[in-house]
């Protein structure tokens, strides 16, 4: 292999002579004439600095390799047996390079005299410059806009439509190509195109090589963006000029390379998680889950409609009554689809799917279809059918059940197979960080990287050791220390956290749980650390490596939807039907003491999101004006006479049904606490933040089993009750808490 020869040559150079200043990498594919012009221009341009040239041939058929071997014996030639694309071929040259700098140069370029000397001089004088691009002109000396701002989905669309005056002169496109500034001055830019890029070798060591999932663009944009994230600067240097003939070539609009380029664009935006602005916090993340849900609904729609039409045709063939007219048949099929959509929704068949078992999903589909078929059977049955043996026409429901289960499960299996193939190709991966610093961390990274179908894309590591230097592993950087994990999750838009620590790191595990408790992330941990955490867990297999998902949502999807439906129905009923009583309570409060009958207060809700909670005022106005935030005590002097009654009967909580209706709260859940106390309790009780993973409630297990919050000891006991609820939450337990709450209200056990 050429790379092996180069490694030996590099070692020899290190022992005997100084390595070259610059390694020039040229990729060629059926471009013999262009290659000759490019090589000749290099030898004319450079003289002050030492250099080597590495030519990678992507399986040319025009004699390019023979031409190089005959005329340039000093050039290192790497032959490929097939066209590997730009990124893979350039990586071959990068691995073979020995120079302090690596110059990536397109084969259809001509370097102007002295350009490379000027370029290397600038790089030596500006050590913060990681990547430098030259001024590019076409064959008629017209400027090419090759230094640009990071692209957006709109700029790519506008570039494809720039033959139309509106798009060609659009502000967005002109800003992207930096058309309205002087291209004769040195400037720091977002990226420079890959036709001519001088890269400092330290950048390669820090950032890694080009992403080989790109076949033909935009691997140059991706590399510059990664360099930015590692703190390197990209410069445009117009004092060095290179002629680039690419724009003068005829390109086929529907070639194989064109479609691979479009595929690369889609991957680029998916990889970096934005659509409109790479640097703005107001980004738009590509959401494969949204596309996934749309495709699932479409597949189910086609399955339900096709099954209904097939079943109707079967009934007609057997002489059983059925709809035959197209319009009534279509209307009926739409109604049937609405039924199945709601049923599948409650069974969680539209939730996100990442590397889960297709077989398990098929079983869930058949479970839902079985229950749906039973519902249809009884809803459409006549009273007489229930007291006698079912007729033949009624037994045809079995054929409908079989068709529905088979076709729906089959359609979903095909979609899931395609989705798995896309995951293997790098699309739709979840942004992931790995917490750890040892060999376990590197081993887990290698495993995840080797099996992309798992759905993880590791964007970085979070270290548990002091950060003397942010050393990357296989191009993936260390993003920070474990103390910075919460900030990293927010800034890097992390979706999964994999914990790769050993049994000695129990404190770090608890720190991870604390920082992730109010974040919308999934946590997975290695089995030997399971004993360091509380609560139930869910085990996942990673191609032989077991990870345990901790702090999962234990409620079934249909239970979650039913819980929210109950919240809406109950809260609306209480507020509307009891309106006269609530107005009377408000009047009593106003008659006893001045001030508003309603009392609002900032509380911490789901995922740490603040909201205003509403209660009937049970204390004098401005009760905490002098004392500051404090818990109510037994026989508290601030509580009024009316307030004492409504607190004992829990009537002071009634306005919170409005919070439930809005979605800030639920009927059942941990009580929301004030931000002042949340921060205080977080520091004292590391697992307190787990309460923030679910929507807070008007009442909960801690309220029916414990006392009011008056001391830290009471709070600690109630935290244990809340954690018990989190580990055992279900609709059955919610109903139990409701009944116990009714007893507490009737017994007037409130304080």
For the segment 67-85, what is each residue's pLDDT rounded down to a tens digit?
A: 999 999 899 999 999 989 8
User: Which residue matches tokens 């409701």?
Assistant: 738
User: Which residue matches tokens 């030492």?
Assistant: 50
Partner residues linked to 639 by β-bridges? 619
Phi and psi at residue 108, in whole multiples of 5°? -95, 45
Supply the pLDDT for residue 330. Answer: 86
- Tell which residue, 42, 37, 145, 60, has the closest CA to residue 103: 42
Which CATH number among 3.40.50.970, 3.40.630.30, 3.40.50.720, 3.90.1150.10 corresponds to the domain 430-550? Answer: 3.40.50.720
Asked if 235 contacts 59 with a C-beta cutoff of 8 angstroms, the reply is no
Residues of the chain with CATH 3.40.50.720: 430-550
For the record, the structure tokens of 619 come out as 């204390």
User: Which residue matches tokens 């025009």?
Assistant: 62
For the record, the structure tokens of 199 come out as 């890269």
Supply the pLDDT for residue 307. Answer: 92
- CA angle, corner 495, sides to 550 and 665, nearest 5? 70
DSSP string, 558-620: HHHHHHHHHHHHHHHHHHHHTHHHHHHHHHHHHHHSSS-SEEEEEEE-GGG-EEEEEEE--B-
> Using H for helix, E for strand and C for coil, what is the string for 36-55?
HHHHHHHHHHCCCCCEEEEE
Question: How far, in Å, CA of 486 to CA of 500, rounded?
Answer: 17
Question: How far, in Å, CA of 359 to CA of 563, rounded?
Answer: 28
Supply the pLDDT for residue 249. Answer: 45
Residues of the chain with pLDDT under 70: 1-17, 162-168, 247-255, 273, 275-291, 321, 352-357, 382-394, 422-428, 468-470, 502-506, 526-554, 556-557, 622-637, 686-687, 706-716, 748-751
Question: How far, in Å, CA of 19 to CA of 217, rounded?
Answer: 31
Question: How far, in Å, CA of 228 to CA of 200, rounded?
Answer: 14
Partner residues linked to 550 by β-bridges? 523, 537
| SS3 call for 730 | coil
Supply the pLDDT for residue 318. Answer: 78
Residues of the chain with CATH 3.90.550.10: 2-156+183-272
Omega before 218 within 30 of 0, i.e. cis: yes
Question: How far, in Å, CA of 71 to CA of 38, rounded?
Answer: 13
Q: Which residues are CB-neighbours of 404 under 8 A, at least 6 positions away?
A: 303, 304, 307, 340, 369, 372, 373
Supply the pLDDT for residue 705. Answer: 76
Alpha helices in 72-218 (DSSP H): 86-96, 115-125, 153-160, 165-168, 171-176, 201-207
Phi and psi at residue 681, in whole multiples of 5°? -75, -30
Asked if 85 contacts 215 with a C-beta cutoff of 8 angstroms, the reply is yes
| Reported pTM | 0.51
For the record, the structure tokens of 611 come out as 């909201």
Question: How far, in Å, CA of 528 to CA of 542, rounded?
Answer: 16
Which CATH number among 3.90.550.10, 2.115.10.20, 3.40.50.1100, 3.50.50.60 corresponds to the domain 2-156+183-272? Answer: 3.90.550.10
| SS3 call for 283 | coil
């Amino acid at each position: 292999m050429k790379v092996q020869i180069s490694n030996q040559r590099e070692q020899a150079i290190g022992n005997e002579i100084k390595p070259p200043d610059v390694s020039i990498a040229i990729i060629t594919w059926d471009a013999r004439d262009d290659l000759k012009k490019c090589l000749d221009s290099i030898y004319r341009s450079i003289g002050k600095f030492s250099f080597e040239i590495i030519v990678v041939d992507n399986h040319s058929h025009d004699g390019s390799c023979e031409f190089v071997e005959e005329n340039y014996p000093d050039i290192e030639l790497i032959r490929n047996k097939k066209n590997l694309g730009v990124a893979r071929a350039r990586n071959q040259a990068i691995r073979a390079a020995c120079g302090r700098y690596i110059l990536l140069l397109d084969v259809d370029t001509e370097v102007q005299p002295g350009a490379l000397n000027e370029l290397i001089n600038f790089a030596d004088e500006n050590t913060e410059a990681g990547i430098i691009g030259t001024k590019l002109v076409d064959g008629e000396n017209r400027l090419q806009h090759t230094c640009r701002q990071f692209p957006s989905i709109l700029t790519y669309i506008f570039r494809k439509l720039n033959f139309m005056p509106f798009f060609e002169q659009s502000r967005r496109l002109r800003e992207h190509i930096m058309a309205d500034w002087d291209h004769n001055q040195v400037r720091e830019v977002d990226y420079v195109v890959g036709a001519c890029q001088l890269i400092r070798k330290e950048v390669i060591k820090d950032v890694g090589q080009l992403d080989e999932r790109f076949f033909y663009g935009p691997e140059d944009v991706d590399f510059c963006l990664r360099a930015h994230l590692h703190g390197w600067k990209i410069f445009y240097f117009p004092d060095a000029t290179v002629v680039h003939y690419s724009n003068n070539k005829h390109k086929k609009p529907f070639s194989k390379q064109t479609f691979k380029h479009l595929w690369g664009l889609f991957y680029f935006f998916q990889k970096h998680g934005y659509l409109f602005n790479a640097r703005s916090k107001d980004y738009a993340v590509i959401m494969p889950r949204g596309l996934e849900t749309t495709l699932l609904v479409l597949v189910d729609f086609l399955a339900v409609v096709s099954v209904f039409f097939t079943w109707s045709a079967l009934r007609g063939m057997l002489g059983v009554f059925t709809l035959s007219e197209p319009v009534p048949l279509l209307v009926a099929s739409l109604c049937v689809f609405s039924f199945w959509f709601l049923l599948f929704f409650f069974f969680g068949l539209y939730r996100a799917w990442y590397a889960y078992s297709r077989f398990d999903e098929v079983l869930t589909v058949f479970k839902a279809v079985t229950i749906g078929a039973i519902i249809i059977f009884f809803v459409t049955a006549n009273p007489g059918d229930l007291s006698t043996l079912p007729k033949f026409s009624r037994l045809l429901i079995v054929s409908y059940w079989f068709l529905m289960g088979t076709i729906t499960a089959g359609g979903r299996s095909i979609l899931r197979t395609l989705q798995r193939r896309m995951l293997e190709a790098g699309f739709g991966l979840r942004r992931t960080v790995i917490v750890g610093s040892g060999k376990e961390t590197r081993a887990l990274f290698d495993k995840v990287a080797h099996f992309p179908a798992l759905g993880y894309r590791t964007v970085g590591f979070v270290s548990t050791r002091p950060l003397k230097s942010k050393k990357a592993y296989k191009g993936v950087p260390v993003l920070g220390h474990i103390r910075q994990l919460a900030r990293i999750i927010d800034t890097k838009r992390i979706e999964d956290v994999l914990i790769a620590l050993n049994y000695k790191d129990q404190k770090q595990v608890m720190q991870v749980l604390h920082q992730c408790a109010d974040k919308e992330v999934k946590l997975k941990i290695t089995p030997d650390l399971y004993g360091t955490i509380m609560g139930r867990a869910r085990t996942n297999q990673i191609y032989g490596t077991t990870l345990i998902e901790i702090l999962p949502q234990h409620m079934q999807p249909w239970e979650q939807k039913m819980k929210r439906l109950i919240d809406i129905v109950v809260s609306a009923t209480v507020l509307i039907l009891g309106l006269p009583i609530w107005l009377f309570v408000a009047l009593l409060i106003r008659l006893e003491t001045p001030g508003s009958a309603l009392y609002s207060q900032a509380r911490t809700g789901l995922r740490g999101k603040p909201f205003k909670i509403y209660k009937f005022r049970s204390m004098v106005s401005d009760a905490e004006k002098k004392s500051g935030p404090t818990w109510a005590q037994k026989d508290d002097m601030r509580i009024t006479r009316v307030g004492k009654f409504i607190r004992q009967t829990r009537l002071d909580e009634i306005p919170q049904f409005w919070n439930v209706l809005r979605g800030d709260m639920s009927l059942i859940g941990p009580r929301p606490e004030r931000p002042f106390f949340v921060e205080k309790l977080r520091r004292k009780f590391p697992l307190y933040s787990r309460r923030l993973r679910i929507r807070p409630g008007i009442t909960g297990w801690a309220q029916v089993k414990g006392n009011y919050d008056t001391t830290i000891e009471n709070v600690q006991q109630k935290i244990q009750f809340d954690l018990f609820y989190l580990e055992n939450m279900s609709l059955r337990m919610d109903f139990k808490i409701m009944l116990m709450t009714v007893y507490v209200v009737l017994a007037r056990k409130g304080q």
